Structure 1
Amino acid sequence: MTPTRTATRTARRLTALAAVGVLLLGVSACGDDTTADARGSSASSAADSSAAPIAAADALARIEDGAAVVDVRTAEEFEAGHLEGAVNIDYTADDFAERVGELPTDVPYVVYCASGRRAVGAVEQMRELGFTDVVNGGGYDDLAG
């Protein structure tokens, strides 16, 4: 093989390897809730701009301090068990934004679902609607445990 041909083959292999690395990075970013839950305490400040779940202990402390609680699971999930005083507003329902829009925006909120994933979207949407103090409490099992 000529040096130019060897360099071309090496360049192609490096390009292919880089593409595989980018794909693997993308797949790992779409992982399960354990990566979000593992961040727990580092994402626990009340005014955190992230919608990642905070530690369950931090969410429960906020609730004890008077934060309103919004359960964004389905009605069936809510009926199977929910935190005392929680309001059920299904994040997957067509009227989610309308129902959330009826809530006062100037009180603190803890939002939770089954794992914390739906709560991410709910928290982000609530912030877009003008809610100033809203955090993702994570999953029901962690909070009710």
Structure 2
Amino acid sequence: MNLSQEEWKTKLENDPNAVILDVRTEEEWNEGIIPNAVLNDIYKGQGFIYKLDELDKTKNYYVYCKAGARSAQACAIMNQMGFENTFNLEGGFMKWKGNVAFRDEN
């Protein structure tokens, strides 16, 4: 499900079952992340799928990338794998106005 920046942020803040998933590259990750995000680079192909297999499908996944296209693709893949609640951040990290963390802060 695609959510606007505001919808995604509000839903995330009120969801005790939330997991934030960053599907960007490690280089992009190093430029800053949404706090508490978990990195799983969609460009890793089968490695990306293996990491998804390790995740708890009962959680709600808030997925983002740089602009929203890769995260939409990731949500589609996750839905095919049996994840019921995936939320794509429209506009991605480029449009994010919330808090930002850097690797050494996590």
| TM-score, structure 2 normalization | 0.82
Structure 1 residue ranges, 4+ long, deviating more than 3 angstroms after superposition: none
Distance 2:49 2:14 in 1: 26
RMSD of the alignment, in Å? 1.3
- The residue type equivalent to 1:75 in the other structure is E
In structure 2, list runs of 5 or more residues that go unmatched. 99-106
| Residues 1:54 and 2:7 aligned together | no
Q: What is aligned with 1:130? A: 82
Query: Which is richer in helix?
Result: 1
Q: CA deviation at 1:141?
A: 2.3
Query: Which is richer in strand?
Result: 2
What are the equivalent positions in structure 2 for 1:77-96 lying under 5 Å apart? 77-94=28-45, 95-96=47-48
Match of 1:142 among 70, 84, 95: 95
Q: CA deviation at 1:62?
A: 1.9
| Residues 1:99 and 2:51 aligned together | yes
Q: CA deviation at 1:68?
A: 1.1
Distance 2:24 2:97 in 1: 14
Q: CA deviation at 1:65?
A: 1.7
| TM-score, structure 1 normalization | 0.61
Conservation of the 8 A alpha-carbon contact between 1:62 and 1:110: no
- With CA pairs under 8 Å and 6+ residues apart, which has the higher RCO, 1 or 2? 2
- Fraction of identical pairs, as percent: 30
Encode CA deviations 1:14-37: one digit per residue, 9 max, x unaligned: xxxxxxxxxxxxxxxxxxxxxxxx
Q: CA deviation at 1:143?
A: 2.2
C-alpha change, 1:121 and 1:64, in structure 2 (3 Å) is: same
